[in-house]
């Protein structure tokens, strides 16, 4: 399971318990999770986004907000932090759902990816290429 915090950081977690029934009016259930670490800035009652995958799931892609993926010269790209700045990296994308996009290839776990502001970097890239 992956928990996305309001800060944009992602933390792995494990489901510990689920209420046995769904509320008929709100169609909601309570899920208790155990976070893999103590993320900074998280407070009790704070809203987070969660992606739950069943045990044994074959899904191995990285999930990012759609705004992190930009089209540059007809290719899907993300901006990855490198020494001294950011670099556009081509990626292969999978399914899209709820504002999220699955990255199948082109990234590895642990790389820092620009999420908010990726469009600004794309614009700056286009402007610098126009100057040459």
Q: Kindly tell me if the per-residue pLDDT of 93 is higher than 50.
A: yes
What pTM did the predictor assign? 0.51
- 57 occurs within a structural domain: no
DSSP structural state of residue 8: S
Residues 67 and 125 in one domain: yes
- 71 occurs within a structural domain: yes
Total domains in the chain come to: 2
pLDDT tens string 7-18: 777 788 888 888
Report the alpha-carbon distance of residue 2 to residue 53 in Å, rounded.
Answer: 8
Q: Could you tell me if 91 and 77 are in contact, meaning their C-beta atoms sit under 8 angstroms apart?
A: yes
Q: Which two tokens stand for residue 97?
A: 């759902």
Report the alpha-carbon distance of residue 125 to residue 130 in Å, rounded.
Answer: 9
Report the alpha-carbon distance of residue 18 to residue 32 in Å, rounded.
Answer: 6
**CATH code for the domain in which residue 80 is found:** 2.40.420.20
Instruction: Give just the sign of the alpha carbon dihedral 95, 67, 78, 3.
Output: negative
pLDDT tens string 60-81: 568 888 999 999 888 999 999 8
pLDDT tens string 17-59: 888 888 889 888 888 888 887 777 777 778 888 877 665 444 5
């Amino acid at each position: 399971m992956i928990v996305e915090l309001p800060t944009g950081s992602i933390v792995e977690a494990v489901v510990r318990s689920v209420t046995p029934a769904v509320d008929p009016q709100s169609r909601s259930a309570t899920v208790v999770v155990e976070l893999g670490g103590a993320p900074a800035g998280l407070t009790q009652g704070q809203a987070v986004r969660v992606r739950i995958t069943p045990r044994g799931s074959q899904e191995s892609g990285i999930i990012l907000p759609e705004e992190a993926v930009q089209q540059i010269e007809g290719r899907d790209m993300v901006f990855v932090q490198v020494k001294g700045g950011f670099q556009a990296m081509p990626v292969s994308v999978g399914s899209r759902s709820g504002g999220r996009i699955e990255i199948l290839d082109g990234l590895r776990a642990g790389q820092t990816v620009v999420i908010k502001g990726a469009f600004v970097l794309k614009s700056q890239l286009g402007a610098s290429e126009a100057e040459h």
